[in-house]
Structure 1
Amino acid sequence: MNDPGLRERKKAATRAALTDAAIRLAQERGVEHVTAEAIADAAGVSPRTFHNYFANKEEAILAAMWDFVREVVAAIRARPARESAMEAMRHVADEMIATSVDSIDDLATRMRLMDNSPTLSRRNDALKEEVGRSVIEALAERSGTDPDRDLYPRLLTASLHAALIATIEVSRGDKTGRSLADLLTEAFDQLAAGLREPLR
């Protein structure tokens, strides 16, 4: 008798191997010089197996990033109801940093790849419409606002996205001597304070 749990774990492992191979090859060769066949070979599976999981190489490269966003949405919805949208998001970020620093670093890697690949950037824009909506809806539920009529959930989502990008860019410069976790904590502090101009 087949074990459904084992089958799902094997599928998840294959998918992870494909995304890891896709990102590694994209970093080594550049996105435009990577093929689905090369990704499949690097992951030790057939091209047919690759296409059972992804339509193209761009999906494989971006998959883990958007899986990460989906995990964030699920974590926001699991936070205690008494927490505000900002509080819930901050707790989720703290937990992600404490347990998944590699995920944050991987996210930074994918963002760098997008900077250098118009094709990847276009595909990411399409995924952003699909997955980004779920973030807005989760924060709207948390704040008691309407995702289509109220500005707040969209402004908060955009602010959090901008904070993450700014944190990664400053961290990438490696001129602060501070960890990504410390920088992200400061970003949340500044947002919570209304982004006041620092004292000179």
Structure 2
Amino acid sequence: MTGLRERKKRETRLALSRATIGLIVERGWDEVAVEDIAAAANVSERTFRNYFSSKAEAVAASHLERALVVADELRTRPATEPLWPAVVDAARKSLSGAPDSPRDEGHMERVKLVLAHPSLHAELLRADDIAKDELAAAIADRVGLDAERDLFPQLAASVATAAIATAMRHWMVNDPNGSVIEALERAFTEIGRGLPVPEGES
């Protein structure tokens, strides 16, 4: 169970991350300084730097927090619930608390530009690794396996995090005015079916 102090730190990280993303989407990556982010979040520059070493790390923190919520939520699910429905519900909860998706196409294009920034790539990979380890630990606890020695928890965590990321990317690119939850559920449905090749494709 996450302690109060750790929860407060995560809340501060998320607030700083969202402030960073909002400013960069509005102004552009190179037009936002740490002092701007600190002012928007009503904290000192020192506080920002206590949490993040760069704007890229701050942007990636929202992605990481969303993934950590999946592990947190999975640990709260009833022990009698089958694993994959529990994972899907945990993933659904992690996305339901996100800010409302923007409806302006120009805004979405700016979001995509932010996510494509070269300096963000390594930070997102690092966030993915941390998130997969946390989710693997939660899965291992649930099914009575060792998160490091047994293959299944790591494999299941990798599949789940890939499904969530793919669903979000598909939603942003193809249907940002629609529901990200629907894209998520479609992704897990296809995984549950064993990923059969759709008719007409090879």
TM-score, shorter chain, exceeding 0.5: yes
> What is the identity percentage for the equivalent residue pairs of Structure 1 and Structure 2?
31
Q: Note if 1:141 corresponds to 2:138.
A: no
Q: Note if 1:90 corresponds to 2:88.
A: yes
Q: What does residue 132 of structure 2 align with?
A: 132
Q: What does residue 66 of structure 1 align with?
A: 64
Q: 1:69 to 1:167 in 2, by over 3 A?
A: closer
Question: Deviation string for 1:67-93 (max 9, x for gaps)?
Answer: 222221111111111223212101213
Q: What does residue 165 of structure 2 align with?
A: 165
Q: What does residue 192 of structure 2 align with?
A: 192
Which protein, 1 or 2, shows the higher relative CO under an 8 Å CA cutoff with sep ≥ 6? 2
Q: Note if 1:77 corresponds to 2:56.
A: no
Q: Note if 1:179 corresponds to 2:176.
A: no
- 1:40–1:50 CA contact under 8 A, matched in 2: yes
Q: What does residue 100 of structure 1 align with?
A: 97
Question: Deviation string for 1:79-110 (max 9, x for gaps)?
Answer: 1112232121012133345x4253888xx99x
> What is the TM-score of this pair, normalised by structure 1?
0.74
- 1:31–1:113 CA contact under 8 A, matched in 2: no
Q: What does residue 105 of structure 2 align with?
A: none
Q: Which amino acid aligns with 1:58?
A: A
The RMSD of aligned alpha carbons is 3.4
| Map 1:29-44 → 2, pairs under 5 A | 29-44=27-42
- Cα distance, 1:64 vs structure 2: 2.5
- 1:84–1:142 CA contact under 8 A, matched in 2: no
> What is the TM-score of this pair, normalised by structure 2?
0.74
Partner Cα separation in structure 2 for residue 30 and residue 186 of structure 1? 33
Q: How many residues align?
A: 189
SS at match of 1:83: coil
Partner Cα separation in structure 2 for residue 14 and residue 181 of structure 1? 26
